[in-house]
Amino acid sequence: MFNSSLRALSAMLAERKISSVELTQEFLARIDRHNPDLNAYITVDPEKSLAQARIADSMIAEGRMQPMTGIPVAQKDIFCSKGWLTTCGSKMLSGFVSPYDAHVIEKFNAAGAVNLGKTNMDEFAMGSSNETSFFGPVKNPWDRKAVPGGSSGGSAAAVAARMAPAATGTDTGGSIRQPAALCGISGIKPTYGLVSRYGMIAFASSLDQGGPMAKSAEDLAIMLNLMAGHDSRDSTSLVRDEEDYTRDLDCPLEGLRIGLPKEYFAKGLSPAVEKAVQAAISEYQKLGAKVVEISLPNTRLSIPVYYVLAPAEASSNLSRYDGVRYGYRAQGYGDLVEMYEKTRAEGFGAEVKRRIMIGTYVLSHGYYDAYYIQAQKLRRLIARDFSEAFGQCDVIMGPTSPSAAFDLGEKSSDPVEMYLSDIYTIAVNLAGLPGMSIPAGFGENGRPIGLQIVGNYFSEAKMLNVAHQYQKNTDWHLRMPSIE
């Protein structure tokens, strides 16, 4: 059952083979068994989850069933959930019980899905390894010595260890795709503006986007059907007709044009990852796809551009944590200014402080034009590379991450080395495009490898189709780490 698809679980619920309460209990028992070691969840609250499961069971009994009704879902601890501790991985919010639901949480609740718990993450989603969390690192279920990726590492590890059928994540520069790749699961970052950011704790607002993480593309499509949609409380939420993201899953791939950016297969890519990605491309050719070489010449600028813009936005967004209204407040201060200083010095971790300092610097008078404005101009060039490429191809493929999961502690003392692990994912956020990662093999030490698929704006249904066809012909996504 732990390996069942969302469709299979939903069918079991519909046929009364299992109740939502029983299903939730099964997953809670699994969390009990594995979470003490993996640390994928920050908060588990069986009473709350089971109360939701009982509501789901009555919805099912009354014939008010939707595809996600009764299904337990792990929620990244960046989504405000009413009555739940919502920490964003930070000491600053380590005692914050949210008084309201994020738009995404509202959607799951209204559909009768069960909140299974809040997953661990890098502090304020800043990181690629989950090591910046105030609640300690998450271990990769495939190899406890390895990181699960970040920032949605808790969600990725929870799904990989089958401690949840599916989870939510957010992706500012790769945080859905990279942990999905490193944990051998599937994840999609939708087009910017498709999923409301209301109640999703802000890191870099022009880049942040929520999305689903699950075992397969089909499961992602079912989740995205629920998560996407306009919300007037997020000013960048897009007004669009409702779409069924499962509608094209079974389309044949005959004639699909796959763009391979030559810059993605250059120095810095691990041979094992390159081999796995090439093998995936060959599989696609067997399915009738054609390969076109493309160029994304400004990719090399994406890391420096991101590390100007994301910290700039973060420094502004995080100014709200001042110890006055909510969150952590330092003890023992003389005056208001000292209270602010002590609160922020004690409440934020090192990586968050580093970003606030960089952001404040690039936005300050005298440096604004040289860094911030310059980065905005380059962001435009990066986006233009993609629009030119999509004149020649339908989807772009390449590695999600330059290597399989690295060891815990391996990069945590070298921020620049850590930043480089997002070289293939960040440009997609800068352009606002949708991107996904699916399992495509294993590398060194049996650690999973992800294939990245990038589509044009609003081509999620097509991308999910492309991923699903691969998953129908391969079984990487069905492999599970060897844990009971």
Q: Does 452 bind ligand GLN (CB under 6 A)?
A: no
Q: Does 39 bind ligand GLN (CB under 6 A)?
A: no
H-run or E-run covering 450: strand 448-455
Q: Which is nearer to ligand GLN, 310 or 395 (CB)?
A: 310
Q: Does 125 bind ligand GLN (CB under 6 A)?
A: yes
Contact code string over 290-319 relative to ligand GLN, x by CB under 6 A: --------------------x---------
* DSSP per-residue letters across 112-166: T-EEEEEE--SGGG--SSSTT-TT-PPPBTTBTTB---SSTHHHHHHHHTTSSSE
In the chain, helix, strand, coil percent, each to 5? 45, 15, 40
Residue 182 Cβ vs ligand GLN, minimum distance, rounded to whole Å: 12
Binding window for ligand GLN (CB under 6 A); candidates: 165-173, 212-220, 240-248, 270-278: 165-173
Q: Which is nearer to ligand GLN, 174 or 259 (CB)?
A: 174
Contact code string over 88-117 relative to ligand GLN, x by CB under 6 A: ------------------------------
- Tokens representing 447? 């650690």
Binding window for ligand GLN (CB under 6 A); candidates: 125-133, 268-276, 330-338, 456-464: 125-133
Residue 211 Cβ vs ligand GLN, minimum distance, rounded to whole Å: 11
Give 99's DSSP letter: S
Provide φ and ψ at 292, rounded to 5°.
Answer: -125, 135
Binding-site size for ligand GLN (CB under 6 A) equals 13
Instruction: Order the strands of the 41-43 sheet from edge to edge.
Output: 41-43, 114-119, 72-76, 166-170, 210-214, 186-189, 435-442, 448-455, 395-399, 257-261, 290-294
One of 119, 128, 401, 456 touching ligand GLN (CB under 6 A):
128
Q: Which is nearer to ligand GLN, 209 or 225 (CB)?
A: 209
β partners of residue 261: 294
Binding window for ligand GLN (CB under 6 A); candidates: 124-132, 266-274, 289-297, 339-347: 124-132
Residue 315 Cβ vs ligand GLN, minimum distance, rounded to whole Å: 13
- Catalytic: 215? no
Alpha-carbon span 406 to 429, nearest angstrom: 23
Alpha-carbon span 178 to 173, nearest angstrom: 9
Q: Which is nearer to ligand GLN, 9 or 358 (CB)?
A: 358
Alpha-carbon span 191 to 431, nearest angstrom: 9
- Catalytic: 151? yes
* DSSP per-residue letters across 338-397: HHHHHHHHHHS-HHHHHHHHHHHHHHSTTTIIIIIIHHHHHHHHHHHHHHHHTTT-SEEE
One of 19, 43, 140, 151 touching ligand GLN (CB under 6 A):
151
Among 49, 129, 151, 152, the active-site one is 151
Q: Which is nearer to ligand GLN, 174 or 212 (CB)?
A: 174
Q: Which is nearer to ligand GLN, 127 or 165 (CB)?
A: 127
Alpha-carbon span 121 to 248, nearest angstrom: 32
Binding window for ligand GLN (CB under 6 A); candidates: 23-31, 126-134, 249-257, 451-459: 126-134
Among 49, 76, 421, 459, the active-site one is 76
Q: Kindly identify the residues of this chain, within the stretch 169-198, that bind ligand GLN according to CB under 6 A.
A: 171-175
Decide if 91 contacts 79 (C-beta within 8 A).
Answer: no
Alpha-carbon span 92 to 137, nearest angstrom: 17
Q: What is the largest CA-CA distance in the chain?
A: 71
Residue 436 Cβ vs ligand GLN, minimum distance, rounded to whole Å: 14
Decide if 69 contacts 10 (C-beta within 8 A).
Answer: yes
Binding window for ligand GLN (CB under 6 A); candidates: 15-23, 45-53, 82-90, 122-130: 122-130
Among 133, 155, 175, 302, the active-site one is 175
Contact code string over 410-429 relative to ligand GLN, x by CB under 6 A: ------------x-------
Residue 208 Cβ vs ligand GLN, minimum distance, rounded to whole Å: 7
Q: Kindly identify the residues of this chain, within the stretch 232-261, that bind ligand GLN according to CB under 6 A.
A: none
One of 13, 42, 126, 213 touching ligand GLN (CB under 6 A):
126
Q: Tokens 């949480």 label which residue?
A: 105
One of 127, 211, 398, 402 touching ligand GLN (CB under 6 A):
127
Count of other CB atoms within 10 angstroms of residue 92: 27
- Give the burial string for 169-200 (b: 16+ CB within 10 Å, else e): bbbbbbbbbbbbbbbbbbbbbbbbbbbbbbbb
Residues annotated as catalytic (active site), given as ranges: 76, 151, 175
The site for ligand GLN (CB under 6 A) is made up of 125-128, 151, 171-175, 203, 310, 422
